[in-house]
Amino acid sequence: LQMQVEFGDFKDVVHKTGFLTSSDLYKRFVPRDLLDAMRGDAWERLILGEYATHVRQSKHEARVAYMSIVTKWFLYGVTTWRVRLSNAAENPLKEDLLLGVNCDGILLLDPHTREQVGAQHSFSDIYSWAYKHSAFAFVSGTASKKKYQFETREGKEIAGTLQAYVNVLMALFTNAGSSSGGN
């Protein structure tokens, strides 16, 4: 789909063996962490084969199709920061983590696999959060509250991102309440 947007319709005479590998162009269409999984010529065959299936698709249609795919990805819309769990004795989590924030709340992720570690902490479960120049912390849980403390120099950015999401959610909630006539 990215090829369709960038180059238009597939043409046998132009988009042939060497088109992507001669200048390492294929690397723009493969996630960095997957580049070493196959040789360049294998990536090129795979990419060009898929590209050829999108002939006569407009740039707009290709963009819409691309967005319909990526919006379903688990990490779509998640902003992440590397953090180090500083209260590891109280939490059975790995010390080095990615802390992710999205429209649903806070995720803790394995920094290598990007898989979720533990439960997601939704905004309705997050009791509070705080930061200082070298740390970020939040308390989550409805019945029993659990504190998560992290070492990071990006605590201010994490807190700001959380607050921005809360502000948007509150505005949506307020607008929904006022548009329903208060009923």
Quote the pLDDT of residue 181.
58
Quote the pLDDT of residue 94.
75
Quote the pLDDT of residue 183.
54
pTM of the model: 0.71
Tell me the average confidence (pLDDT) per consecutive run of 10 residues in the chain, 183 residues long.
92 93 92 90 95 94 92 90 84 84 94 89 94 95 87 96 93 76 55
Quote the pLDDT of residue 142.
78
Quote the pLDDT of residue 51.
95
Which conformational region is residue 152 in: left (phi greater than 0), alpha (psi within -120 to 50 degrees), or beta? beta
Quote the pLDDT of residue 118.
82
